[in-house]
């Protein structure tokens, strides 16, 4: 069941997502060669507490960190570590969420460390473009499959592949609400989209196969072929005036 939000609730989700967007921007500015993903995790947590919010991921199903930091062939749920030193040419996906006054925000960006390869840059650009193609379809009167199909078409036209095993989600009083939002699907199918829905759309895109594996740590998801992966996510409200991206700095 998809929970519809009132304008007052959307304002609260907007506030949470603004915090997420501000913190992701600070993390991006700090993500340089020599910095560890452990450093970024601690920074995310202190910035969150400074704003009177709570890190949404810490403790979620036992996840032990505030930030997910997935480097290169890591797709999602990369666990920050003081031993993981970022180096020139790395791609790091930073996925972050907060709970502020009972409402959640969630977003992700992929950041280039120093100078990355042309292929890596192309992967990042395609993933972000796929996210925006999906967001464009997030309007009342459309169906969920319109979002999914738009993401998939954009990504596959560029010769990249869409991860199947992890999906986007509704967001509000919970980090993960219905509906699940696959990044592949069929136009015209699925849940009817309505004003008041808030959706976290989050394509994970691979340069090679879409197949993934979970490491022994029980969290880190990596590409099956070891090739690069990227991830972008926004929380988006469906309004009478179309999609509003809540996790943007403005
Ligand atoms: N950002 C992820 C999502 O959008 C949540 C990470 S799950 C956690 O679904 F357990 F690591 F928090
Ligand atoms: Co999410």
Assign domain 7-245 one CATH number from 3.90.230.10, 1.10.10.10, 3.40.50.2300, 3.30.1240.10.
3.90.230.10
Sheet holding 212-214, edge to edge: 74-76, 221-223, 212-214
Q: What is the side-by-side order of every strand in the sheet holding 229-231? A: 161-162, 204-206, 229-231
Which ligand places an atom closest to the C-alpha of 198? 2
Q: Please state the atom number of ligand 1 nearest to the C-alpha of residue 166.
A: 9
Those residues of the chain that have pLDDT short of 70 are none
Q: What's the gap in Å between 108 CA and the centre of ligand 1?
A: 10
Distance CA(65)–CA(36), nearest Å, equals 14
Q: Please tell me the predicted confidence (pLDDT) of residue 250.
A: 75
Find out whether the beta carbon of 200 lies less than 6 Å from any atom of ligand 1. yes
Q: Which atom of ligand 1 is nearest to the CA of 77?
A: 11
| CA of 176, closest atom in ligand 1 | 9
pLDDT in tens, 195-222: 999 999 999 999 999 999 999 999 999 9
What was the pLDDT predicted at 76? 98
Contact, 126 vs 154, CB < 8 A? yes
Q: Residue 7 C-alpha to ligand 2 middle, in angstroms?
A: 21
CA 165 to centroid of ligand 2, rounded, Å: 13
CA of 190 to the centre of ligand 1 (A): 23
Query: Which phi-psi region, left, alpha or beta, contains residue 47 (left: φ > 0; alpha: ψ -120 to 50)?
Result: alpha
pTM to 2 decimal places = 0.98
User: Which protein residue has the closest C-alpha to ligand 1 atom 1?
Assistant: 95
Alpha-carbon gap, residue 154 to 130, rounded angstroms: 5
Beta-sheet strands, E only, within 84-166? 91-100, 103-112, 161-162
């Amino acid at each position: 069941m998809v929970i519809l939000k009132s304008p007052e609730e959307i304002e609260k989700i907007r506030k949470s997502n603004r915090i997420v967007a501000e913190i992701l921007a600070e993390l991006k500015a700090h993500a340089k060669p020599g910095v560890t993903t452990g450093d970024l995790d601690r920074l995310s947590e202190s910035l969150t507490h400074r704003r009177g919010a709570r890190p949404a991921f810490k403790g979620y199903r036992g996840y032990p960190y505030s930030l997910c930091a997935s480097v290169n062939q890591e797709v999602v749920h990369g666990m920050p570590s003081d031993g993981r030193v970022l180096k020139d040419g790395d791609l790091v996906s930073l996925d972050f969420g907060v709970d502020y006054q009972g409402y959640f925000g969630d977003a992700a960006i992929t950041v280039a460390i120093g100078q990355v390869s042309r292929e890596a840059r192309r992967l990042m650009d395609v993933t972000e473009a796929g996210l925006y193609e999906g967001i464009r379809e997030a309007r009342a009167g459309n169906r969920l499959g319109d979002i999914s199909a738009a993401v998939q078409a954009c990504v596959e036209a560029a010769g990249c592949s869409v991860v199947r095993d992890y999906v986007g989600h509704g967001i509000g009083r919970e980090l993960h609400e219905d509906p699940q939002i696959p990044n592949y699907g069929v136009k015209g199918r699925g849940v009817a989209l309505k004003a008041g829905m808030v959706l976290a759309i989050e394509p994970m895109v691979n340069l090679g196969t879409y197949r993934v594996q979970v490491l022994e740590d029980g969290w880190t998801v990596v590409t099956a072929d070891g090739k690069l992966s990227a991830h972008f996510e926004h929380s988006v409200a469906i309004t009478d005036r179309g999609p509003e991206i809540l996790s943007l700095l403005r």
